[in-house]
């Protein structure tokens, strides 16, 4: 199992580089390790930089599918509808924030064999994809809300921690 980095690690703010199927790690083995780490930590997604590797790949658990990795993912089309919803993050354990995301999107990615795939995602699957894609761009979900809302959420989280 791979080790997660926490919220103050500078690697989370770094822009990831494209996955090179010829030169980078074995994609199949990397996918197994990423998915295992995500599942063991009860996540729905896990970006490579959350384990300290700045490559454009993330593991994702879409509804009704076996978890897998998306290599070099990108958004092709989004709808205009933004929906606010709760998000958490394995690198920010216990912190939950309301974040606005596109309700639907069409994305492109490569599977572990390097085959191009196009997928349409909605609701929670679209939210998870956008959250993980942000990680690859060095953006963490607290950056998506106002400083005031973030301060309020952190205070609420700290109060809950003191009660335990």
Please state the rounded mean pLDDT for residues 55-73. 97
Please give the CATH number for the structural domain made up of 10-163. Answer: 3.90.45.10
Q: Give the per-residue pLDDT at 163.
A: 78
**C-alpha distances in angstroms, 53 versus 11, 30, 69?**
8, 11, 14
Closest residue by Cα to residue 31 from 66, 63, 4: 66
Q: Give the per-residue pLDDT at 162.
A: 80
**C-alpha distances in angstroms, 67 versus 95, 120, 158?**
23, 16, 32
Give the residue carrying structure tokens 């609701």: 123
Please state the rounded mean pLDDT for residues 101-116. 98
Q: Is 31 among the residues known to form the active site?
A: no
Closest residue by Cα to residue 142 from 154, 124, 158: 154
Can you say whether the dihedral through the CA atoms of 99, 136, 48, 36 is positive or negative?
A: positive
Catalytic residue among 29, 84, 120, 132: 132
Q: Give the per-residue pLDDT at 94.
A: 86
Cα separation, 58 vs 135, in Å, equals 9
Which regions of the chain does DSSP assign to beta strands (E)? 45-47, 57-60, 68-78, 82-87, 97-102, 104-110, 116-122
pLDDT, tens digit, 9 for 90 and up, residues 1-34: 789 998 889 999 999 999 999 998 899 999 999 9
Q: What is the rounded average pLDDT for all residues in the chain?
A: 94
Q: Give the per-residue pLDDT at 159.
A: 82
Closest residue by Cα to residue 72 from 88, 36, 48, 90: 48
Closest residue by Cα to residue 90 from 146, 138, 127, 37: 37
């Amino acid at each position: 199992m791979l080790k997660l980095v926490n919220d103050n690690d500078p690697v989370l703010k770094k822009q990831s580089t494209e996955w090179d199927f010829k030169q980078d790690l074995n994609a199949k083995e990397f996918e197994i390790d990423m998915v295992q780490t995500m599942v063991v930590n009860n996540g729905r997604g896990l970006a490579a930089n959350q384990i300290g590797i700045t490559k454009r790949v993330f593991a994702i658990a879409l509804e009704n599918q076996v978890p897998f990795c998306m290599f070099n993912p990108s958004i092709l089309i989004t709808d205009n509808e933004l929906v606010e919803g709760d998000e958490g993050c394995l690198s920010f354990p216990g912190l939950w924030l309301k974040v606005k995301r596109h309700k639907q999107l069409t994305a492109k990615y490569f599977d572990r064999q390097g085959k191009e795939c196009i997928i349409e995602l909605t609701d929670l699957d679209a939210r998870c994809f956008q959250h993980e894609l942000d990680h690859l761009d060095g953006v963490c979900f607290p950056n998506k809300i106002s400083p005031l809302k973030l301060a309020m959420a952190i205070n609420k989280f700290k109060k809950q921690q003191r009660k335990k």
